[in-house]
Structure 1
Amino acid sequence: MTTPSNINPRIVEALYGEALVLSDEVRAAFAREGAADGEDADLVRVALSCEALRTTTRMMHAIAWLLNHRAFFAGDLSEFQLRRYGKLVEFPDGDAGHLARLGPDMRELVHATEQFHARLKRLDNGWRERAAGAPTAIACLRERLNLQAVSAA
């Protein structure tokens, strides 16, 4: 097993900038792809709508996760709050049937958002695993109380 990732403010800021650029590319690409012609135009529009919703939601979850970490590093969230509310949820990849109806550029963009989300998920999992072995706040308090009791006796 690899060593869990370390999340620091520089990593979060770099990823946040990357997420904003990728989100803007997603918004522009799906806005551009509006009309479809041909006999399966309705299926293409449905595929486009579904993948647009899935892709933009995936990126908004990623940005929310990054914003939570920025707030933590700024001192606006405690580690407890970040662990409790800042978990990056599993998010489904694009539907193969829908993606087949989209152009190669659009498929590549959807894949890029999936890869970005997967990177964040690995960071989140590594950060959570690293802290899982650390003693809890209650365990630390009990240890302090035990040490005080021993020194008082």
Structure 2
Amino acid sequence: MEKGLVRRLLCNHLASVSLALNDLEASVSKEILQVLHRQVTAIARKYNEPVPVVSDSIVSSAAWGIAYCLLGPSRLLDVYPEFKDRTEEAEMELLLRESGETAENNIYQKIYTILLDSPQCHPEVRGLRNQARLAAATPARGLHRNHAIPLRG
């Protein structure tokens, strides 16, 4: 029942942005469903909550991570401006992931791990990821070995 519930919820959430599970390669959709099932089960056990109670929020976030990766933020905002908050949330999670500041069990991180390097990932998302990686790797001006030094103007 749990796997069927997770699959149904994912299909419904993806449909809200005109996507379907079969828009993903079969191996990718299978991997995502496995990750979702494990995440839902782990959270339900950890908080002693029924699976249906925790499923929707986890699957909803996963669907937004998928939509963000496949469609890109510009298309999501152009076509679905009512989902601006969810699009910004997905983008913030990408930036946090690339700066190393996201929790290990974060569902966005798991979805991005699967999709970011896939050919299905939108070029705009890959570009944002690369910019975030570059920013994370570039030391802040005025800092040297974790010590502040005066900036010269």
TM beyond 0.5? no
- Could you say which structure has the greater relative contact order, defined with CA pairs below 8 angstroms and 6 or more residues apart? 1
Instruction: State the TM bucket, normalised to the shorter chain.
Output: 0.3 to 0.5
TM-score by length of 2: 0.32
Q: Could you state the TM-score of these two structures normalised by the residue count of structure 1?
A: 0.32
The higher radius of gyration belongs to 1
